[in-house]
Chain A
């Protein structure tokens, strides 16, 4: 019934971003800030999309709620990766790195022939 880590791959960009942002416990606002800071990615993370995604990722057992953070009188829910979630991020990270390496190699070999 439960999925193996491989079965989650490839991850949609926004899912990869949310999971990687939760390597350390973080609230939704922090996830959006981290998403905005990865400028080159072109990925934007809207609140409606994030709310839906958080629910889905909890259901899939990739993340879990971890109490609340109090910032003044603003209380925000904290989330963190589960061991399964961490494994999925690691696998996806390796998969993407291999893709990037391959592409880089292709580009360099092209430079030589030119």
Chain B
């Protein structure tokens, strides 16, 4: 017999990942345990349990993925799943597992890695801007193509806004630690 399942759709910004963690903890406390995360969240019915959920983002694994997962397992964190580099871990609330990040530098580095990815996307987009301008200024080019250029400008603007929001978040993490 299959366990009862629940699917929820939720889009969460990279800087709001701690909110996402609290939400997953609330779900677990109600007996809904995460099976798959990302945008389409799948939960499975079980005993209500107080859990800690944590998210990590990795774009590269210099010591390999095996080492990455074994460190988390050894520290007492159960691996739930991965969504485009976002890794979901959980541990019972009463367990002695340490926080996954225990210093400011590594906590900030998580968001810096997301920022680098964004920077790559932004750079790739900017490379095509001169071509697009040249194309858009030609009278013989059809309007639909020109609207594609507008779309690209909007995309660049959105990427820049996301990058700024992430930078603010990284600064906040650093400042919080300075106060403590």
Contacts and interface: CB of A to CB of B under 8 A. Distances in A.
Contacts of B74: 28-29, 32, 47, 76
A103 interface: no
A44 interface: yes
How many residues of B sit at the interface, in one of the four size bands? 20 to 34
A43 B70 CA distance: 21
A56 to B, nearest CB: 9
A44 B71 contact: no
Nearest to A30: B74
Given A28-B70, A51-B68, A52-B109, A46 B62 contact: no
B110 to A, nearest CB: 7
Contacts of A48: 56, 72, 100-101, 106, 110
A102 B106 CA distance: 32
A14 interface: yes
Contacts of B62: 55, 58-59
A52 B106 contact: yes
Given A29-B71, A32-B75, A51 B101 contact: no
Contacts of B17: none
B73 to A, nearest CB: 8
Report whether over half of chain B's contact residues are helix, strand or loop; otherwise say mixed: helix
Contacts of B99: 44, 46
B67 interface: yes
Interface string B90-116: 000000001111110111011000000
B43 interface: no
Interface string A6-28: 00000010100000000000001
8 cross-chain pairs, A with B, having the tightest CB-CB distances, nearest first: A29-B74, A48-B100, A55-B62, A47-B75, A49-B106, A47-B71, A46-B102, A44-B98
Interface of B: 56, 62-64, 66-68, 70-72, 74-75, 77, 98-103, 105-107, 109-110
